[in-house]
Amino acid sequence: MEKIGQILMDLDWNPLFISLKTGAAATVLAFFLGIYAAKKVMHAKPGLKAFLDGILTLPMVLPPTAAGFFLLLIFSTRRPFGAYLYDTFGIRVIQSWLGCVIAAMVIAFPLMYRNARAAFEQIDVNLIYAARTLGMSEWKIFWKVVIPTAGPGVAAGTILTFARAMGEYGATSMLAGNIPGKTGTIAQKIAMVIQDGDYMTAGVWVIIVLIIAFIIVLAMNLFIGKRMKNVRRW
């Protein structure tokens, strides 16, 4: 116990802070993009819907390193798009915290998209028809009727997206690297200390990750359970 206490005292907490802010930023991006994509795909024709659904779900089934490879092809300063961003706006994605966010968002995006779409498809269309008869615009219907009604599914997608983004390793390592204090996340820290043979420090970080993951899952279950209880009561 004394050794663990000493490790906690000497621990560099930057990986935790980087992981938390990366997860939060990636979740915000994935939230709005996922909801927008789910809304658009729902109204697409069957053939186009199947194609778009396959493309948007692809990062979930690809190895993270494969997704990282494609991101490198896009954002490398040796490629047209990456060079354009850097030369025109001074934006460098490779070896930067922005790269962490983009990689985490791409990997976690399918969780937000799939949960949002499943929640939207279960909404009673009569609620939408009733809102239209009251003269509500489509924009107001979506944000004041659809989103609240699909609340549990959207919330589950958001929480899972944050958890996945915070724990991303493969694509993040390839796109953003492992720069201490800048792009070094918890997942990268665990891999690094294991390579150095420091299993005690790796174990401490694993326990921290387990606690955070448990809190996230518990919060999701409590929120969804409360919402479903209110729905049944109603």
Q: 65 and 174 in contact (C-beta within 8 Å)?
A: yes
Q: What is the mean pLDDT of residues 150-172?
A: 88
Selected residue with higher pLDDT from 217 and 95: 95
Which domains, ranges and CATH numbers included, belong to the chain?
A: 2-228 (1.10.3720.10)
pLDDT (tens digit, 9 = 90+) per residue, 142-160? 888 888 888 888 888 898 8
Q: What is the mean pLDDT of residues 133-143?
A: 83
Element counts in the chain: helices (H) and strands (E): 13, 0
Percent of the chain clearing pLDDT 90 (strictly above): 27
Instruction: Report the pLDDT value the prediction gives residue 23, as an integer from 0 to 100.
Output: 92
Q: What's the distance, Cα to Cα, between the start and end of the chain in Å?
A: 51
Q: 112 and 163 in contact (C-beta within 8 Å)?
A: no
**pLDDT band (50, 70, 90) for residue 98:** very high
> Which two tokens mark 93?
């994605």
Instruction: Report the pLDDT value the prediction gives residue 61, as an integer from 0 to 100.
Output: 87
Instruction: Report the pLDDT value the prediction gives residue 234, as an integer from 0 to 100.
Output: 45
For 186-214, what is the HEC assignment? HHHHHHHHHHCCCHHHHHHHHHHHHHHHH
CB-based burial label for 224 (10 Å; 0-12, 13-18, 19+): middle
